[in-house]
Structures are given as structure tokens and as C-alpha cells.
Amino acid sequence: MTPMTETELRAWLSRAAGRPVTLRMNTNSSSIVDVRNGRRRGELKASVHRIFLDAPPEVLAALAGFMRTPTARDRAVVRSYIAERHRDAPERAVRRKPRRVRTLGEYYDLAPIASHVNESQFGGRLEYSITWGRRPQVRPRRQTNITLGLCQHADRHIRIHPILDDPDVPRFFLEYVVHHEMAHLAVPARVCGRTGRHHHHTPEFYAVERAYPRYCEAVHWQRKNLDRLMRKWCRSTGRSKPPPPHQRFFQLSLFGSS
């Protein structure tokens, strides 16, 4: 079967769903199919993984039904196809070139910290690589959020934001962030049968996260100090503007995937 082009798939889905479809193809590992109403009346906006470009007709029909008015059968067919085709996608997404890993920061070395967390909390069983993230590019806009850590499942790689390489950050809090990201390696994501979305923060995950011995202390420190730390970061780097004094920073997430 010859794979469809994006234009052909959009036209096919529009006909089958009986509504105009604005389609964007993705290669996500966390959100395979996302459908919502568009701005125009009757329009559907869909983000669909590229695995559907060569899907068989019965799967495409189920996808169109899922977009229009999903039935239990449509959901089951789409879910089964995603499980069959997408389970190996993270392996295909692994970078061919080796990553540049930098564990030694100005104040903290991530290598012994990560090794300690792995040994003490996960019995040394986790395989991973870890690095400090790059300093961000110049951002003229005001910065109001930050992601302290990122775990990329494709190659079991953890990246820690360089804002934490600071003498004002206690070691136990840096260990907590590393522990949080390692917990994502220890607890597999759960795939939602209706949308194909990968849910990383599951009850099982939270149970592992809260097993960190100084969890409550770390959460309290974050709530009390993140705003001050972010303003210090903006002043020291000059790469982004802090929000006005009356507006606090907020943390979007400790976790991201790609």
C-alpha cells in the first residue's frame, strides 16, 4: 500500500468525517492523536501521528469516526493500531549522533548526584545518561515559566536546567529533581485508549516520586524559593525579562518528553 501524503490524508478525513479538517502531522511520543474544534464553524483541528499515512482503510475509517463521533469500536481500532505501530517509534527516534553530555557544572557535578539517587532509591537498576542543559537563547519576551528537568525516553536521557547549578540551591532539592526524572524511567507511561495520549504522571508514578525521603521538604523549598531563583537567573543571564514584581513565576512542569 502506497502511503498517503498529508494533503491526501486531510482530504480523505474531511470527506469521511463530513467536516472540514485542518490537519497537522506529528512524530510525538506523548500525544499521538489530538482532535478539537477549530475556529471556523464545523471545522476540526487534528494533530495525527505520521504512522497513519500508511494505515489500512479500516483504520482510517475508524480514525475518521473517532474524530467525528467516537464509538467504542472506533476507539478500539485506533488504540490497537497505535499499540501495534507506535510501540517501536521511540526506538526509531533515538539520535544517531552521540549526545554531548556535560555533568560538571560550576557548583554541582550531576554524575555523583545521579549515581547516588539511582543506588539509594532505585537499587542501581536504571540505565540513563544525564547532563546539564544548555543556557537558553536570547528571549526578548518576559519569561514566566520554566521546566527544571526533562526526561527523554527514546534514549533514556535526562537533562537538568542550569538554573539549578547555583549555590543557593540545596543539594537535596537537586536530588529531588533528578529523582523525579528517574521515576519516569522506572514507571512506564500509561496510554489512554481514547486518545492515544501517553500519561506520564500516573498514580504509580506519584507513589515512586513521593518515596523520595525529603519529598515534602523539597516541595516546600520549591514553592518558597522558585520565584526568587528565577528572578536571580534573569538578572544574571540577561537573556529574558522577569515578570513585573506583582506577578509570580510559575513552573509548568518538571517533566517533558520528545
Break the chain into its structural domains and give their ranges: 6-92, 110-237
| Superfamily of chain region 110-237 | Metalloproteases ("zincins"), catalytic domain (3.30.2010.10)
pLDDT at residue 118, rounded to an integer: 97
- Quick one: fold of 6-92? Zincin-like (3.30.2010)
DSSP type of residue 131: E
- For residue 120, is pLDDT > 70? yes
Each residue's pLDDT tens digit, 52-109: 999 999 999 999 998 888 888 888 888 888 888 765 554 444 444 566 789 999 999 9
Domains 6-92 and 110-237 share a fold: yes
Task: Considering only residues 159 and 145, tell me which one the structure prediction assigns the higher pLDDT.
Answer: 159
pLDDT at residue 164, rounded to an integer: 95
Q: How far is 168 from 9, CA to CA, in rounded Å?
A: 53
Each residue's pLDDT tens digit, 166-184: 999 999 999 999 999 999 9
CA dihedral 54, 58, 63, 64 (to 10 degrees): 110
pLDDT at residue 251, rounded to an integer: 47
Each residue's pLDDT tens digit, 29-44: 667 888 888 878 888 8
- For residue 5, is pLDDT > 70? yes
Task: Considering only residues 99 and 117, tell me which one the structure prediction assigns the higher pLDDT.
Answer: 117
pLDDT at residue 154, rounded to an integer: 74
pLDDT at residue 140, rounded to an integer: 46
**The sheet that has 157-160: what strands, in order across it?**
129-132, 157-160, 149-152
Each residue's pLDDT tens digit, 188-242: 877 665 555 667 888 999 999 999 999 999 999 999 998 888 888 877 766 555 5
Question: What percentage of the chain reaches a pLDDT higher than 90?
Answer: 46
Name the 3-class secondary structure at 179. Answer: helix
The b/e string for 48-78 (b: 16+ C-beta within 10 A; e otherwise) is: bbebbbebeeebbebbbbbbbebeeebbebb
Report strand pairing: 129-132 vs 157-160: parallel
